[in-house]
Amino acid sequence: MKSKAVWISCILAALFCGCAANARVIMMLEQVGPNVVGTGSGTIDPAGLSFLHNGGSAPGIGPGDGELVVGQFMAIAFYTGFSGPASFGSIVGSTHVSTSSGDQLGINASGSAVPLIFVPEDYVSGSELSGTATWDNTTLVGLHVTPGIYTWRWGSGEHTDSLRLLLGSRSRARVRSPALPRGRRISLVEMAMDVGWRWRWRMEASDDIRDLNYQ
């Protein structure tokens, strides 16, 4: 019994450590009524990136440059050293936001000498980021974006990380874990399997983005 408990503990530790090691930022841009709303949230591990300098950049969008920056204006740190698509639309140059709030977070994949990722100047690796931006009285078509899923990656090993941009309407996968039997005791193995399924649901719910509509 003791050896089984140790074995189960190792499985759970591997699950949760594997999840934490691969931090990820999700950015979204979608039509909300008459406006377009952008959001960014998650954590970044900058250890796999190259720091350039501190500075400032106004929030905005430039699809032809692969640029999307959300959050309020603040002192930010510029990083480079990642790979991914150069653009997600057709217009070069930035369209400034109507309103924005929260942490400044963003990417400029090809509009400068080197591709850039922006985070707050005092950002600590692994800290949660959350920012928003709104473009009033416009549409995804008006902003010249091409709906889809765009991913930029960097780092290796425990510092592997990514930023994913979702353009268009979204819906989450309805993945359910198998129901645990009722009316009897649950074994350690079944408990570990249930935890694994719940962890898998969280990962797949964030990855399985469907119904990307060009509005």
Is pTM beyond 0.85? Reply is no
Is 213 among the domain residues? no
Owning domain of residue 68 = 2-207
Is 124 among the domain residues? yes
Query: With left for phi above 0 and alpha for psi between -120 and 50, is residue 204 left, alpha or beta?
Result: alpha
Is 109 among the domain residues? yes
Please give the chain's pLDDT, 215 residues, in tens: 555 544 545 544 444 444 434 448 999 999 999 999 999 999 999 999 999 999 988 999 999 999 999 999 999 999 999 999 999 998 777 899 999 999 999 999 997 789 999 999 999 998 999 999 999 999 999 999 999 999 999 999 989 999 999 998 543 333 334 444 545 555 665 556 555 544 544 444 444 443 343 33
User: How many domains does the chain contain in total?
Assistant: 1
User: How far is Cα of residue 135 from the mean position of the Cα atoms in its chain?
Assistant: 20
Is 215 among the domain residues? no
Is 130 among the domain residues? yes
- How distant, in Å, are the alpha carbons of 30, 58, 99, 164 from that of 215? 9, 26, 21, 20
Is 212 among the domain residues? no
Is 27 among the domain residues? yes
Using DSSP, state whether 166 is helix, strand or coil: strand
User: What is the per-residue pLDDT for 161?
Assistant: 94
Is 44 among the domain residues? yes
